[in-house]
Structure 1
Amino acid sequence: MNDAIKKEAQRLQKELTEHSHRYHVMDDPLISDIEYDDMLKKLIEIEENFPQFSTPDSPTKRVGAPPLSAFNQAIHSIPMLSLDNAFNNEDVLDFNTRIVKILNRENIFYVAEPKLDGVAVELKYENGTLVQATTRGDGITGEVITENVKTIRSVPLKLHREKFKVPSLLEVRGEVIITKPDFDLLNKTRIDNGESVFANPRNAAAGSLRQLDSKITAKRPLDIFVYGAGEVKDLSFKSHSQMLNMMKQLGFPVNPHIKAGLSIEGVLTFYKKLEVLRDSLAYEIDGMVIKVDDILLQRQLGEKSKSPRWAIAYKFPAIRKSTRIKDIIVQVGRTGTLTPVAILESINIGGVMVSRATLHNEDLIKKKDIRIGDMVLVIRAGDVIPKVVKVIESKRKGNEIPFEMPLHCPVCHSRLVKVKLDITHVHKCINTSCQAQLKERIRHFVSKKAFDIEGLGKKIVDQLVEEKMIQSFADVFLLEKEKLAKLDRMAQKSAFNLVRAIEKSKTCSLRRFIYALGIDHTGENAAKLISERFSALKDIMDADKENLVSIHGIGPETASAVCQFFSNMENLNIISKIINEGGVKLTNDKPSRVESWDNPFNKRRIVLTGTLLTMTRSEAKKILEKLGAGITSSLSSKTDFLIAGNKPGSKFAKAKKLGIQILDEKSLTAMLKSHL
């Protein structure tokens, strides 16, 4: 009896999986929706009565699981970096010129893909079975949304076995979307149920993926297209287009409008075609993604701290709307820079209500002759940041008011200084005790991606700064429950919970600590790269610009900013107080593994010495840097390899004494051949 039921369950699981794939991925259904639902209902009944016959990849998993209390987090094996943007043909041609220069070769071939306006996710498969799904998050750490992603019918719960062996590990990256027709139907249903409507398909997709109850997600019409890979084992591909073809064979939906083998001229031609095609597509796109097709060339180009050098997003022209500037105010940023902001009569741009737009600086305001009371054209640059494009002079009435930057800080009233920055000027408040800066710095310091102190929200931080209970980062860790309880809206229990949260935060990774300090040009990924190179805070504080620039992905601006920050005695005193009086303990979550393709030079510190016969030291340096190595001139215990040619000198003996791995030219050449 049980054997017959088991066989029936296996038959239904297999057939439903195949029918789902044919319907959602191949767009070639063999049965009706009613027949599919009847089969699924029968399988659910069997698995409820005989749970031993349920499998992790059963189609029944698509109906949702019991609600979660909160999302767990997971670190991406390889960071999910953002992309640099291009807004015109010249930007794209400049992108190509940079690549040609770095690689020292012409005839680069590209893949062009529609830039989907959805939510990026990563799907992790072990031995062909989906075991984890995460959001992009901050690019380094994402939220685990496995049960929600399982409800997306176009996501394979088990990989198809066709022309090649299923890899033991495969991390697939894709964009979760809701099509335009499904979005309209979803909002109509919500209106009928008396619920609020979603502003646009992307917001609906994001909200659906972040439901703690996956049964709610299962009712949302989510879909997916895959576009890339993270870590991969037992599967190799030479080009991005070959990888996408393999993904398709494994059962993933791949966008049909992707074009490969394009010259840079072909890329620009395809962009025009895609722009025309945009409105006829069933889903939202906001541009085109351009990628170097050759995987080896991608690796040689490498990444910057926040984005790959081998890819760029060519955005479609933003939607323009006209509105009136009611006022212009000035905001003081975390580093003291003043930014003028236009207060607008609210306008809907691309499904988002916009009431503010940045005016950047005084130079821009004067150049565009922007006045209070003007009718202006506003866009959401890159469909994200509201920006004033131009003044509609024909609609001026004569009572518009020219704007002047203030002479004094609007918060602390200290006199402002005008600083030249590249080709423009900015106004800065240089008073380090300015409450606006301090508030912003503290908010950043305690934010989720930094020390992650729950309970220290905007209003509490404002009170603590205004009451002078916090005058530096270190004061955060010296807050007392009794004093906190006296604050407005802060009872004994809230004060107790906050002190407990502060105590919990005192064990912090080096990566988060560096990010929390709010050093100019040093975001999450730059902090990660620096903490991976150095094992302790002292090593970072002692590093010079040359050491920092040698880190693959760290540029001169970041290196200079880090050096300047740690050369400031006030900053050093605050850090000392954080650790010695605040009791903060730093850990290092430096990963020990190398990249998935076993490149032994990636993110390694290397010193060259002696004379090489088959290449110059300069040539060797360029090759190693393309493989992700950091080349330094000084030898220390942190050095990973010493590459020794003829007559290596004193560095050879020192490396032996320190136990550093030494490579002769023959060993180096052999290792390079296997990775180039």
Structure 2
Amino acid sequence: MDTLNRIKELERLIIQAKKSYYSFTDDTDEQQLTDAEFDLLEEELRQLDPNNVVLRQVGYEDTLNSITNKIKVTHTIPMLSMDKVKKKEDLLSWFNNKIDSGLITDYQLVVEPKVDGVSGDLLYSNTKFQYAATRGNGRIGLKIDTNLIKNTIKSTIPIKGSEIHIRGEFYIPKSYNLKKERDDYEPLRNLCAGALKRKEPIEINKYIEFIPYNIIGTDITFDKEIEKLELLRKTKYPDIQYFITKDITHVWEYFEEYEKSLRNKWSFESDGLVVVFNSINTQKIIVQEFGDTDHHHKYAIAIKPKSVGAWSTIRDVEFNVSRNGRIVPVAIMYPVQIGSVMVSRATLNNMSFVKENNIQLYDKVFCNRTNDVIPDIVKVIHTTKSKEVTIEKCPSCGTKLVEKGVDYICPNHLNCPAQIVNKFLHWFTSNDIKHIGPSSIDKLIHGGNFSSLWQLYAMNQNDLMCVIEKYCNISKDTDTMKEFIRLFEKSKDQTEQDIIGKYGIPTIGIKMLKKMNIYTLNDLIKYKDLSYMSSDVAVEKNICIWLNQDPRNFDDLFSLIKYIDPKKKVDKNIKKKLFCITGALDNLSRNDAIKEIENKYPNYEYSNTVTKDVSILYIGNDATNTSKYKTAVKYNIPIIEYKSI
């Protein structure tokens, strides 16, 4: 099974899992995936296709559309999901990305448990309970039969208002396991979801509890997130424990304490911690500056528990095809629990790695998963069933493979479906064009008959939006479409050299083009001369091979540059120096600061990250805890307070 087929299989499994979990059409005890198993599927899909539309969906749309025996409820303010991190550096990146904007002055954080239950919304009017609803797809939920939660719901609350929504998690406490002495290991979250689906209550329903974490009202306003949590204490529902800090490193220390002891002390099952900016004004600034997604708010993040390693057995080997035809083997294993996640795949790098480590089908293997989505195999034990791993033809197009160095290569570079998809994906990724992944590109190619990037750039904006809506399932009037169009248009604002460097010519990037003094197609085309086939310079030979492979290689690149029509030119006489900025700037946005520096020092250009190539780091307020500052200190890069310029 190649990557595209695996993506389709993951889409099917995730949609089926959501359908089972969110369906309120029967009262059967249908077997569901555990939260960890579901996370595994989502993480694998996110690794293979980060922009897949299934990952943006909250709940299950088709299930809601097909339900006729339940009352549907529209969430005026959507109930979104959470973005997730597992590594400390990713948490710091999320935080510093907001702080480095220079717009945020109140960066206090609230940290609370991520309760592993079923999200719900309770409506109260003039202190009296009206109904409870599920999250559904985030925009539309289903009313829950009050008889199923009559032991859970408070009939009145001491909070006045014509429309008060209390949001939180329905859950079954850990004590239920002790009372029932269960040995079936069915996750409490799944038991709770099943109990809320029933037509009539059974014994388990009396154990359901509700813990609130948010309150929304037409007659109440808040300045801080903790004001909501304190007001919710008055409802007599269980309190949610929280922790406040301005130091993001303290958040990670609290998470480490959570992993060691806190999660075992709480009465409910949890799946990590939730981190949110305390100031409501800060939340609004983040939404205005960074936007929101259809899936989650950018002012909050969930930290998920770390993983370790475990033994499993290889039951199959999947072969994926890169944009340049390289065959990448992946071990498919029997699912094994590593930390809080079920793992069923491990990278095998290339066929030379498989041979050198004598990895065979049906081997027993030990996998490490140190916060990586796909783990590494570090130990191998053969079994009586072990069988050599072999491949002769491309899994995507069936072309006979050729051996080149450590890799097996599919030579059908222009017509292999997997290579075409990955070429599109490389361009979108290189230009930071979001929301289009392998699955969407596959639909563009096969459904829309797109085979070259220039075809998209030849369209006017309205036609492009129609195509993206039809094949990529992104509605025209959404923020997701607006961001896609903005980034697509931004990709036109680059030099001819940038376009050539990002196009995906094997071993050729922008740095190499600069080194070779290749600025335009006229500079590139000279390497079509067959004499370069015998060049001692590998890069010259690679360009010559690419240009002579097929006339369409150059023709497609020529057409792309023609339709982008780059106005930006490379200044060949000036080698730009790089500068970076971190910390909050007084009364000045980040973009204005960049323009100010570049106008004052024309031979400098902005870098979004600090590397060894950066000449100066300008700092604002509270910059010393940022990753950029620490990297600059590490590389002895000059650090200057911004106000001093």
Give the TM-score of the pair, scaled to structure 1: 0.47
Structure of greater relative contact order (alpha carbons < 8 Å, 6+ residues apart)? 2
TM-score, normalisation: structure 2: 0.49
